[in-house]
Amino acid sequence: MDHIVVIGAGQAGASAVARLRKSGHKGPVTLIGEEPVPPYQRPPLSKAYLLGDMTVERLFLRPEAMYAEQDITLRTGAAVTALDTAAKLVHLGDETIAYDTAILTTGSRPRRLPAAIGGDLSGVHVVRTLADVDAMRGDVRDGARALIVGGGYIGLEAAAVAAKLGVHVTLVEMAPRILQRVAAPETSNFFRALHQAHGVDIREGVGLDRLVGDDRVTGAILSDGTELDVDFVIAGVGIVPDTALAEAAGIAVDNGIAVDALGRTSAPGVWAAGDCCSFPHGDGRLRLESVPNAIDQAECVADNILGANTPYVPQPWFWSDQYDVKLQIAGLNTGYDRVITRQGDGHTVSFWYYTGDQLVAVDAMNDPRAYMVGKRLIDGGKTADPGVVGDPSADLKPLLKA
């Protein structure tokens, strides 16, 4: 029976192997991960785990014993050094593993600050892995001074946790506003006000010129000439798909490992899923960086390997937790031309994105009802009357029957 080897033990890899067994694959399955721990949740790392509200074991996606029970060979702490698609061999240094089918779920890696501006100094952190967060734990303490570089969701979530732990936080964003790449000005304004209310010093339209320090960072000079004393730095400047293994193997890459609608790469017998790959969408290609996409796409690929022949159709949704606010996002706001605000009480509000008359996305803050209605409409290809959406006294549920 076919040996299926999954390279990358994150959310997508764990979802793929579980689905293979659930869908009836009886042959050998091997899951290879570079980190020395079983697959785990990443979103809580910079929140509940850093706050001390969650143990390492609670991060694990499934109990470690489950892999043996399902006859899945889990290889942790194992770095894949090469993929030979002609001989169908996975190289781990001097060791080789033969495969019949391979799935690349290599995920993404964080952008790091360049060494030329001090990015390699001690006390400069990124937020991606368990080891990353463990490394910063000693720095995130009451009274410390932090610089966070980047005003996307990674940077803002890190700022929220640091501020809750008593850190004096300065956040810089080179773009004119935080969240500019991913959200409307209304959402940016909401989160700017939220962070400022918690004492975070947000500076927009300002970049980092360089960090100062001998072996360890002690200060920062911003692009406007401002000098800051800092005890540690968190770089939240985005992630990039981890395509190095695929590229070295000669597999086509286009904003990630390029796959077709079923999840197949350009190499026979090699598939891909999750953050690392882009797939056909509309007239172009799309790559999604989210837990739901990693799960859904990995499960679709597993089913297709077993013969389902089902094209992957994403139903995008995301979330972010900051202080007492839960943001839920449905859809993709690419190409929107207007935003309708539905105002609730206090920190309850939602922003509805339209392209022409078509609803394309919803940002809902502490408003699960608005999120639920918006997501169901978007997933069903329906829209919503802006007049109803903008009237806080109007019931949204009838929109689902329109």
Mean pLDDT, all residues of the chain: 96
Please state the pTM of the whole predicted model.
0.95
Q: Write the CA distances from 279 to 143, 161, 273, integer angstroms.
A: 46, 34, 9
Q: Are 170 and 232 in contact (CB under 8 A)?
A: no
In this prediction, residue 46 carries a pLDDT of 85
Q: How many helices (H) and strands (E) does the chain have?
A: 11, 26
8 A C-beta contact, residue 82 and residue 249 = yes
Contact between 121 and 213 (Cβ < 8 Å): yes
β-partners of residue 257 are 253, 277
**Res 347: pLDDT:** 83
Proportion of the chain above pLDDT 90, given as a percent: 96
Helix axes 185-197, 153-164, angle to 10 degrees: 20
User: Which segments of 43-121 are extended strands (E)?
Assistant: 72-75, 82-84, 89-92, 95-98, 101-104, 108-110
Residue 345 reports pLDDT greater than 90: no
Per-residue confidence (pLDDT) for residue 47, from 0 to 100: 87
d(CA 231, CA 289): 30
Q: Where is 389: in which H helix or E strand?
A: helix 386-389
3-state secondary structure of 3: coil
Grade residue 253 by pLDDT with cuts at 50, 70 and 90: very high
Residue 401 is predicted with a pLDDT of: 87
Please name which of 188, 194, 192, 232 lies closest in space to residue 211, comparing C-alpha atoms.
232
Residue-wise pLDDT for 186-233, tens only, equals 999 999 999 999 999 999 999 999 999 999 999 999 999 999 999 999
pLDDT digits (tens, 9 = 90+) for 112-170: 999 999 999 999 999 999 999 999 999 999 999 999 999 999 999 999 999 999 999 99
Contact 271, 259 (CB under 8 A): yes
Q: Give the tens place of pLDDT for each residue, 366-377.
A: 999 999 999 999
Percent of the chain whose predicted confidence (pLDDT) is above 70: 100
In this prediction, residue 11 carries a pLDDT of: 97
The pLDDT value recorded for residue 339 is: 98
pLDDT in tens, 303-333: 999 999 999 999 999 999 999 999 999 999 9
How far is residue 139's CA from residue 365's CA, in Å, rounded to a whole number? 30
- 378 neighbors 330 (Cβ within 8 angstroms): yes
> What value does the mean pLDDT take over residues 227-240?
96
Task: Name the helix (H) or strand (E) containing 303.
Answer: helix 291-305
- Per the CB < 8 A criterion, the answer to whether 234 and 136 are in contact is yes
Domains and CATH numbers, the chain: 4-109+239-305 (3.50.50.60), 112-235 (3.50.50.60), 324-401 (3.30.390.30)
Mean pLDDT along residues 263-269: 98
Contact 208, 222 (CB under 8 A): yes
Mean pLDDT for the stretch of residues 67-89: 97
Amino acid found at 81: T
Maximal C-alpha separation, the chain: 67
Length of the chain: 402
- How far is Cα of residue 249 from the mean position of the Cα atoms in its chain? 25
